[in-house]
């Protein structure tokens, strides 16, 4: 049966792919975005679809919608480390006031709610790989704190609305995700390295390059989000690809796959940059029967092709 689904942050990188997947399942999709980091280009192909509507709106402002909503996905937050120093209060407000506004809307509509939380709630983790039971190691006075702490608060709001107001509020903890529609100048490692490789410029490694990340292709992630929404589980649930790689190895892979002549260049490591990150996804595998299927090489080739085309 067709549902009416609100996607906050629907013009962003992950949000726009989620809108596409929900439309493909014949749902009505209402996309809200303030276009601070999202882009009209990401949703342009859906603007003529009668099942799709777009509202230029900020979730941290009061919301009023006429439609009866069945599900709300909250992906409305800038998520790149370069945004943390540029717009810290916008990030904090989106995940706190914005989350509360959307939870109120969920309560009023008796709608299901899914919060896009993050592996950043684990901070610079002392436990490896990270399980959902780990409480994390977060610096509340650091450059990343506007994001880490507001996402943690966003999770607490889910807990409160679930336990005191009976809202079916779910939490997905999203690990590093990559793919088409990432912002070219977003500052994150995937667009940075690919753009540098395509221009045969040095790849800017921060620190020694021994820090690790685990990269999940966007189509895998979107499938996980939809499965979690449709399940009877509320999480918190890690969604990510457990294939771990050092940043130096990742750089070499990007150079190889883009047939670039770029070299590696070492730069200072930003403060509070987590040294390792890898999701334990046994919960998602067991409860959602979900695991990523796109291998890093395959996903990187698609992503390189996207950046070549823009
Ligand atoms: N990084 C890097 N060079 C870049 C951008 C990022 O070496 O040009 C590193 C960064 O220091 C971090 C990792 O790549 O250790 C992933 O960074 P990103 O900003 O993509 O996401 P994070 O996982 O830190 O939120």
Q: Residues 119-163: pLDDT tens digits?
A: 999 999 999 999 999 999 999 999 999 999 999 999 999 999 999
If pLDDT is split at 50, 70 and 90, which confidence band does 113 have?
Answer: very high
Q: Average the pLDDT over 15-44 and give the result.
A: 98
For residues 155 and 99, is the Cβ–Cβ distance under 8 A?
Answer: no
Q: Containing H/E element for 118?
A: strand 112-118
Pocket lining: 192 vs ligand 1, CB cutoff 6 Å? yes
* Phi, psi dihedrals of residue 206, rounded to the nearest 5°: -90, 130
Task: Measure the CA–CA gap between 16 and 219, rounded to whole angstroms.
Answer: 11
CATH number of 4-178+216-241+279-293: 3.40.50.720
For residues 154 and 8, is the Cβ–Cβ distance under 8 A?
Answer: no
pLDDT for the residue numbered 286:
98
pLDDT for the residue numbered 99:
98
CB atoms within 10 A of CB 202: 15
213 Cα distance to chain centroid: 14
Q: Containing H/E element for 18?
A: helix 13-24
pLDDT for the residue numbered 195:
98
- Coil vs helix vs strand at 267: strand
pLDDT for the residue numbered 157:
99
- Average pLDDT across the chain, whole number: 97
Tell me which of 73, 113, 147, 161 is the catalytic residue. 147
Q: Average the pLDDT over 7-18 and give the result.
A: 98
How far is the CA of 197 from the CAs of 130, 190, 261, in angstroms? 31, 11, 7
If pLDDT is split at 50, 70 and 90, which confidence band does 64 have?
Answer: confident
164 flagged as catalytic: no
Q: Which of 78, 206, 211 to mutate to test the pocket of ligand 1 (most atoms within 8 A of CB)?
A: 206
How far is the CA of 264 from the CAs of 22, 151, 159, in angstroms? 40, 33, 44
Proportion of the chain above pLDDT 70, given as a percent: 100
- Give the model confidence (pLDDT) of 196-222 as tens digits: 999 999 999 999 999 999 999 999 999
| Interval between CA 30 and ligand 1 midpoint (Å) | 32
If pLDDT is split at 50, 70 and 90, which confidence band does 239 have?
Answer: very high
Nearest residue (CA) to ligand 1, atom 12: 273
Q: Which of 13, 79, 81 to mutate to test the pocket of ligand 1 (most atoms within 8 A of CB)?
A: 81
Position in ligand 1 atom list of the atom nearest CA 209: 7
Pocket lining: 247 vs ligand 1, CB cutoff 6 Å? yes
If pLDDT is split at 50, 70 and 90, which confidence band does 226 have?
Answer: very high
| Interval between CA 271 and ligand 1 midpoint (Å) | 11
pLDDT tops 80 at residue 1 = no
Radius of gyration over alpha carbons of the chain, in Å?
Answer: 19
pLDDT for the residue numbered 309:
97
Position in ligand 1 atom list of the atom nearest CA 211: 15
Name the β-bridge partners of 230.
none
If pLDDT is split at 50, 70 and 90, which confidence band does 63 have?
Answer: confident
Q: Average the pLDDT over 273-285 and give the result.
A: 97
Domain boundaries, the chain: 4-178+216-241+279-293
Cα-based angle 147, 149, 154 (whole degrees, multiple of 5): 90
- Give the model confidence (pLDDT) of 164-176 as tens digits: 999 999 999 999 9
| Interval between CA 211 and ligand 1 midpoint (Å) | 9
């Amino acid at each position: 049966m067709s549902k009416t689904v609100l996607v906050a942050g629907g013009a962003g990188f992950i949000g726009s792919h989620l809108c596409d997947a929900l439309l493909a399942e014949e749902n009505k999709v209402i996309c809200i975005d303030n276009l601070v980091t999202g882009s009209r280009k990401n949703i342009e192909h859906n603007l003529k679809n009668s099942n799709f509507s777009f509202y230029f709106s900020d979730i941290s402002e009061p919301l009023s919608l006429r439609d009866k909503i069945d599900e709300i996905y909250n992906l409305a937050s800038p998520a790149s480390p370069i945004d943390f120093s540029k717009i810290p209060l916008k990030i904090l407000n989106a995940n706190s006031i914005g989350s509360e506004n959307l939870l109120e809307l969920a309560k009023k509509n008796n709608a299901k709610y899914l919060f896009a939380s993050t592996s950043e709630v684990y901070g610079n983790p002392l436990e490896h790989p990270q399980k959902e039971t780990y409480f994390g190691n977060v610096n509340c006075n650091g450059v990343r704190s506007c994001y880490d702490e507001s996402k943690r608060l966003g999770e607490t709001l889910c807990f409160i609305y679930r336990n005191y107001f009976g809202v079916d509020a779910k939490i997905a903890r999203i690990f590093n995700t990559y793919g088409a529609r990432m912002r070219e100048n977003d500052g994150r490692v995937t667009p940075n390295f690919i753009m540098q490789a395509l221009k045969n410029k040095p790849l800017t490694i921060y620190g020694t390059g021994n820090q690790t990340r685990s990269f999940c292709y966007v189509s895998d992630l979107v499938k996980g989000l939809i499965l979690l929404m449709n399940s009877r589980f509320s999480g918190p649930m890690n969604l990510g690809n457990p294939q771990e790689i050092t940043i130096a190895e990742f750089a070499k892979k990007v150079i190889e796959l883009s047939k670039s002549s770029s070299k590696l260049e070492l730069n200072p490591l930003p403060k509070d940059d987590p040294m390792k990150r890898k999701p334990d996804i046994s919960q998602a595998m067991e409860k959602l029967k979900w695991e990523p299927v796109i291998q890093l090489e395959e996903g990187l080739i698609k992503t390189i092709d996207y950046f070549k085309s823009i």
